[in-house]
Amino acid sequence: MVRTEQDIKLEKKVSQTILASQQTPAVGEAGHTGEWRTKRPILHTEKCLVVKTGKLTCNLCWLYCPENTVSRSIPPKFNYDYCKGCGICATECPAHAIEMISEKEAPSCEGNEGGN
Ligand code: SF4
Ligand code: SF4
């Protein structure tokens, strides 16, 4: 996939943000959320920068998740056992690759899904 100049500038910016951060949250500080969460994030992989580049160049979803329930991987994956559905990952994603959907719309599978 072709990277645009805008993609490259964005990657540089997010890399600098990651380097500047020293966030180290513990997994699941909100407890087991699967039973009370009302929304969940899903990933549109075709928009995700790490999927497009094949490199761990962005991962702002991983960085900003207060529950540390997003993996730093290609593609990023959500741990639905502990995700509380706050939507911060979707807000911070510079590529608008994360969508928050209602649990009622969500597929029946539970846990460790990367979305569609
Ligand atoms: S989902 Fe968004 S924030 Fe997360 S790695 Fe992909 S582009 Fe970056
Ligand atoms: S919605 Fe996103 S930021 Fe919030 S807990 Fe779930 S994965 Fe983390």
- Report yes or no on 113 lying in a domain: no
- Report yes or no on 48 lying in a domain: yes
- Report yes or no on 9 lying in a domain: yes
* Domain housing 27: 5-102
**Per-residue pLDDT at 73 exceeds 70:** yes
Query: Measured in angstroms, how far is the CA atom of residue 26 from the centroid of ligand 2?
Result: 13
What is the predicted pLDDT for the residue at 20? 58
- Report yes or no on 114 lying in a domain: no
pLDDT class for 46, splitting at 50, 70, 90?
very high
* Total domain count, the chain: 1
Query: Measured in angstroms, how far is the CA atom of residue 53 from the centroid of ligand 2?
Result: 23
d(CA 3, CA 16): 19
pTM of the model: 0.76
Mutate to test the pocket of ligand 2, among 23, 29, 70, 73 (most ligand atoms within 8 A of CB): 70
**Per-residue pLDDT at 91 exceeds 70:** yes
Query: Measured in angstroms, how far is the CA atom of residue 39 from the centroid of ligand 1?
Result: 18
Residues 97 and 48: beta-carbon distance below 8 Å: yes
